[in-house]
Amino acid sequence: MGTSLQLRSLVRSSGELELSLAKVPVPEPGADEVVVQIEAAPINPSDLALLIGPADVSAAKVAGSGVDAVVTAPIAPAFMRALASRADESMPVGNEGAGKVVAAGASPEAQALLGKTVALIGGATYAQHRLAKAAEVMPLPDGVTAAEGASCFVNPLTALGMTETMRREGHTALVHTAAASNLGQMLNKVCIADGIGLVNIVRSAEQAKILKDIGAKHVVDSTSPTFMDELTDAIADTGATFAFDAIGGGKLASQILSAMEVAINRKATAYSRYGSSVHKQVYIYGGLDTRPTELARSYGLAWGVCGWLLTPFLAKIGAEAAGKLRARVAAELKTTFASHYTARISLTETLKPEIIAAYNRRATGEKYLIVPTKDA
C-alpha cells in the first residue's frame, strides 16, 4: 500500500493555525466503496472557513519546504472560544472535487465505476486520493474533464437552491449580493433561462460589466452614491421580495429590506403605521464581511433575516427533488454551470504564503483550483 498526500488544518489551543501536508496510506475500498484519485478540487469560501478561519495569514510563517512545509499563523484570543471544539485536532479540508476511480470494491455498483471520472462531495478532497461510497459519487458525462466537473456541487446546487427556495416560499424574483462571483454568474444564467427577475448587487464597475456581458438586466453598484435609488428602482421593476446575501456583515441586508419596503409602498393605496403586509426575506449564506449584521428597522414588521445552508436545504427537499437539481447540473456543466478559475495550484503551492494570501482574499470573481496530480 502506497502513501498519499492530504492537506490538513490544525488549530492549536495555544492560539495558532497550522497547515501541512499529511502522508496517509492510500485507502483500500470496501465492497461498496471506490478510491478516487483527485485531479481537481476548488477552493470555495466555505472551504476557507475550515482551512484558514480567523487566522491572520499576513503574519504567516513557513518552516520546511515542498511536501514537508508547515505554515503557522496566529489566531486572536477573541476567536478561540468559537474554535474550542476543533482545538488540537488535525482536520482534512475540501468540500468537493473530481477525479478518476482507480480502485473499486467487489459490488457491481462499485465495479461499474472503475476507470470513470467522477465528482464527489463530503470533505477531504484536498488530497491525492479520497475514499467514497459508490452511491455518493456522480459519474461525469462523456467529454467532461475533472477540472470542469470539480465544482459541480457547491456553486451549481446553491444557485438552483436559491431559486427553488424562492419558489417554495411563494416569491417570484430575488436579489443577490457579491453577484459577479462564479456562483453569481451561474445564478444569472439560471434566472435568464427560467424567466426569473434578478437584481444583482456588485461592488465595482468591472464586476457590473461581467454580469452585463452575460445578459444581466438589473445590476447595481453598492459603491455608487445613488445606490439606494438604483436598488429600489430595480426591485420595483422586478417585484423582488426575496434575497440571498453573501456579504453577511454590515448594513447591506438592511438596505435591501428597506429598498423592498419602499418599492412595495410605491403601489400602496393606503398608509399603514406598521408598514406593508408583504413579507420580505433575506437569507445570509456567506460572510465576506465578518462584522456584525446591522439592521435599521425601517421596513415595517413583515420581514425576516436568517441563515441558509445548502446541505440542510437538500435534506429538507428530499432525495427525489435533490436528484432533479443534480440532473440539471450534469446536463449543463459546460454551459450554465461552467466554472472559471484564476489559477490552478498544487497541494504544495497551497502552503506558500503569497498564494495563501491570494486565495484567502475571497475576491469576487476569483476562484482557485487545487490540482493534486501536480504533486505526483
Task: Note the pLDDT tens digit of each residue in 35-82.
Answer: 999 999 999 988 999 999 999 999 999 999 999 999 999 999 999 999
Give residue-wise pLDDT tens across range 24-36.
Answer: 999 999 999 999 9
Pairing verdict, β 289-293 and 248-250:
parallel
Query: With contact defined as beta carbons under 8 Å apart, do 129 and 82 qualify?
Result: no
CA 114 to chain centre: 29
DSSP class of residue 106? S
* CA distance linking residue 110 with residue 35, whole number of Å: 10
* CA distance linking residue 179 with residue 163, whole number of Å: 14
Quick check: 1 pLDDT over 70? no
CA 52 to each of CA 230, 295, 303: distance values in angstroms, whole numbers, following the listed order: 36, 28, 34
Least confident of 233-237, 258-262, 271-275: 271-275
pLDDT of residue 278: 95
The residue to which cell 470542469 is assigned: 148
pLDDT of residue 269: 83
* CA distance linking residue 144 with residue 71, whole number of Å: 35
pLDDT of residue 124: 97
Give residue-wise pLDDT tens across range 311-343.
Answer: 999 999 999 999 999 999 989 999 999 998 999
Q: Which residues contact 86 (CB under 8 A, 6 or more apart)?
A: 11
Residue, of 148 and 288, whose pLDDT is higher? 148
pTM score, two decimals? 0.88
Query: With contact defined as beta carbons under 8 Å apart, do 259 and 228 qualify?
Result: yes
Strand order from edge to edge, sheet including 91-92: 61-63, 70-74, 16-25, 3-12, 91-92
Give the number of other CB atoms < 10 A from CB of residue 61: 11
Q: What are phi and psi of 242, to 5 degrees?
A: -145, 140
Angle between helix 154-168 and 182-194 (nearest 10): 40
* Amino acid symbol at 291: R
Pairing verdict, β 242-245 and 173-177:
parallel
pLDDT of residue 268: 85
pLDDT of residue 270: 83
DSSP class of residue 87? B
DSSP class of residue 294? P
Domains of the chain: 3-151+339-375 (3.90.180.10), 154-312 (3.40.50.720)
CA 229 to each of CA 37, 93, 213, 359: distance values in angstroms, whole numbers, following the listed order: 51, 42, 23, 34
- As a whole-number percent, the residues of the chain with pLDDT over 90 amount to 90
**Mean model confidence pLDDT for the chain:** 95
Quick check: 19 pLDDT over 90? yes
Give residue-wise pLDDT tens across range 113-124.
Answer: 999 999 999 999
Q: Which residues contact 260 (CB under 8 A, 6 or more apart)?
A: 175, 235, 240, 241, 243, 280, 299
* CA distance linking residue 253 with residue 349, whole number of Å: 36
Strand segments, DSSP code E, in the chain are 3-12, 16-25, 33-43, 61-63, 70-74, 91-92, 96-104, 117-121, 129-133, 138-139, 173-177, 197-202, 218-221, 242-245, 248-250, 280-284, 289-293, 303-307, 343-345, 368-370
Give residue-wise pLDDT tens across range 205-230.
Answer: 999 999 999 999 999 999 999 999 99
Dump the DSSP string for 107-136.
Answer: SHHHHTTTT-EEEEESS--SBSEEEEEGGG
Rg from Cα positions in the chain: 22
Angle between helix 310-331 and 154-168 (nearest 10): 110
Give the number of other CB atoms < 10 A from CB of residue 296: 10
Residue 305, SS3 per DSSP: strand
Give residue-wise pLDDT tens across range 270-311.
Answer: 888 888 999 999 999 998 898 999 999 999 899 999 999 999
